[in-house]
Amino acid sequence: MSALEDLGAHIASSMTSAVEGHSVRLGELTVNARAEQIVAVLTFLRDDPRCKFSTLIDICGVDHPERDKRFDVVYHLLSMPLNQRIRLKVAADEEAPVPSVSGLFPCADWFEREAFDMYGIVFANHPD
């Protein structure tokens, strides 16, 4: 099992109620989580000693108009101590807000605002 597969399995087994799945493709780990659990998942990824993803690189939106939950909110994180990157995805619709993570990562404020301005993705408890 590769290091990324092992990390994905660790995250999935540690966050069973929040993580819906994970995959490694083209040397990149993607974790799919429930939108309502995004704060818990990102807190775990930041604080767990096997993860240490303390740098939020960006947040972006992807629009899939054919789906009921038409948006993916994608978080890219970096663990400088472990030299690893991860992509975290949550699905969102046009109505239910995704919890803001600006309390965990202050730079999320700008990224969430951009996702709102460009796609209309609403973030609950966003400061702006």
Per-residue pLDDT of the chain (128 residues; tens, 9 = 90+): 588 999 999 999 999 999 999 999 988 999 999 999 999 999 999 999 999 999 999 999 999 999 999 999 999 999 999 999 999 999 999 888 999 999 999 999 999 999 999 999 999 988 77
User: What's residue 1's pLDDT?
Assistant: 57
pTM, full prediction = 0.94
Report the phi/psi class of residue 40: left, alpha or beta, with left for phi > 0 and alpha for psi in -120 to 50: alpha
In this predicted structure, what is the pLDDT of residue 124? 93
Reference 85, options 38, 37, 27; nearest CA is 27
**Are residues 109 and 123 in contact, defined by beta-carbon separation less than 8 angstroms?**
no
d(CA 10, CA 37): 17
Nearest to 53 by CA among 36, 65, 61, 41: 41
